[in-house]
Structure 1
Amino acid sequence: MDLWWTPLAFCKEAILCLWYELRARVRRRLPGLDAYILSFEVGVAKPDPAIYEAVCAALGCSPCEALFIGDSRRSDDLGPRAFGMPAHWLDRASG
């Protein structure tokens, strides 16, 4: 098997959901993810470093092996980067 044909086969995917009310909807709309990290279960919210630690623990990776993507500059870009995790900010205002 040529590994270069399937680079995403080695990726894991997770979602970090902040709202208790969305927990069932998230799992229903995004089935098959490797992890669902729910802020209310962890007991902290972004940008608390403990939430990014929970993401890494759920995926079994170190911060430098993850990529955090989100649309909040503070919580989805600056927070993960301060924790040592690469991040990408989706600037929806700029398109």
Structure 2
Amino acid sequence: MHKLLTRTLPLALALVAGNALAHGNVQCPKYPKTEWRPHTELQEKLVKDGWTVRRMEKTDTCYEVYGKDPQGKRVEAFFDPKTFERVEEK
């Protein structure tokens, strides 16, 4: 049991740390929340464009989308909440 824990714990910590840093370079423009379009509108647009949306979250400045893009690739994507333009890492 000890060997299993010492082998899997570092891997689990690395995965968690990797996810925490995964979008450290994504910066959406800052708008007042009153200017944000509804996230349901973004979801409808993405589905119409061929995306499969599994989950959506709001960050301080972006909409974060988890799902599959039109090519079927699993993605974590960020979108400007006012224009719905996709925001890429810098």
| TM-score normalised by L of structure 1 | 0.23
For the pair shown, which has the larger CA radius of gyration, 1 or 2? 2
Greater share of residues in strand = 2
Greater share of residues in helix = 1
| TM-score normalised by L of structure 2 | 0.24
